[in-house]
């Protein structure tokens, strides 16, 4: 589901609307799964990656709440939000020198993803490596410099870029 709703909808003949939504019946057909199976994925997903809503036309639609590839043009319509004074980012230690030099880049996604706490950031970094470093982001300095933040429906903080001056390694 994440592959189709974030990265390659066309692989199953799906088209996301401008805000990333796809009719639930279309996704069921594309994946060959039942509605009960889809509901189990949505509800059982620890990160609440997917959101389901019923449109004014009565059609139920589903989308990923964040994490889309840059090549998939969606506007989630998130409003700017005030972040806490610090946010966190977990990454393989091998990325540290490059991040401290160049800042945090969105890579192949629309945004840099930031976590509200160290535990979540650690889990994000562990997806890629056992050697994780957690970075503290000085969001207060970024806001003062005019950077804009959004918060996804499932609590991930999003921004375009984090300058190296606002990143430091988190010490326990």
Would you tell me which residues interact with ligand HQG (CB under 6 A)?
A: 47, 49, 67, 91, 95, 98-99, 102, 104-105, 107, 109, 113, 124, 128, 156
Place of tokens 């401008």: 18
The nearer residue to ligand HQG, 27 or 133, going by C-beta atoms, is 133
CB 57 → ligand HQG: shortest distance, Å? Answer: 28
CB 88 → ligand HQG: shortest distance, Å? Answer: 11
Dihedral pair phi/psi, residue 100, rounded to 5°: -65, -25
> 101: which residues sit within 8 A by CB, 6+ positions away?
164
> 49: which residues sit within 8 A by CB, 6+ positions away?
2, 64, 65, 66, 67, 154
The nearer residue to ligand HQG, 24 or 124, going by C-beta atoms, is 124
The nearer residue to ligand HQG, 61 or 109, going by C-beta atoms, is 109
């Amino acid at each position: 589901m994440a592959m189709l709703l974030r990265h390659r909808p066309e692989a199953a003949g799906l088209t996301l609307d401008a805000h990333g939504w796809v009719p639930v019946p279309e996704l069921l057909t594309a994946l060959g799964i039942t509605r009960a199976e889809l509901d189990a994925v949505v509800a059982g997903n620890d990160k609440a990656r997917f959101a389901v809503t019923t449109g004014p036309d009565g059609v139920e639609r589903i989308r990923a709440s964040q994490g889309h590839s840059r090549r998939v043009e969606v506007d989630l319509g998130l409003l700017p939000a005030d972040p806490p004074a610090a946010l966190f980012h977990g990454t393989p230690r091998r990325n540290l020198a490059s991040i401290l030099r160049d800042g945090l880049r969105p890579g192949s996604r629309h945004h840099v993803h930031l976590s509200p706490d160290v535990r979540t950031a650690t889990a994000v970094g562990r997806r890629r490596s056992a050697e994780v470093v957690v970075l503290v982001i000085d969001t207060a300095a970024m806001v003062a410099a005019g950077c804009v933040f959004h918060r996804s429906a499932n609590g991930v903080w999003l921004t375009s870029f984090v300058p190296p001056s606002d990143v430091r390694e988190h010490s326990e």
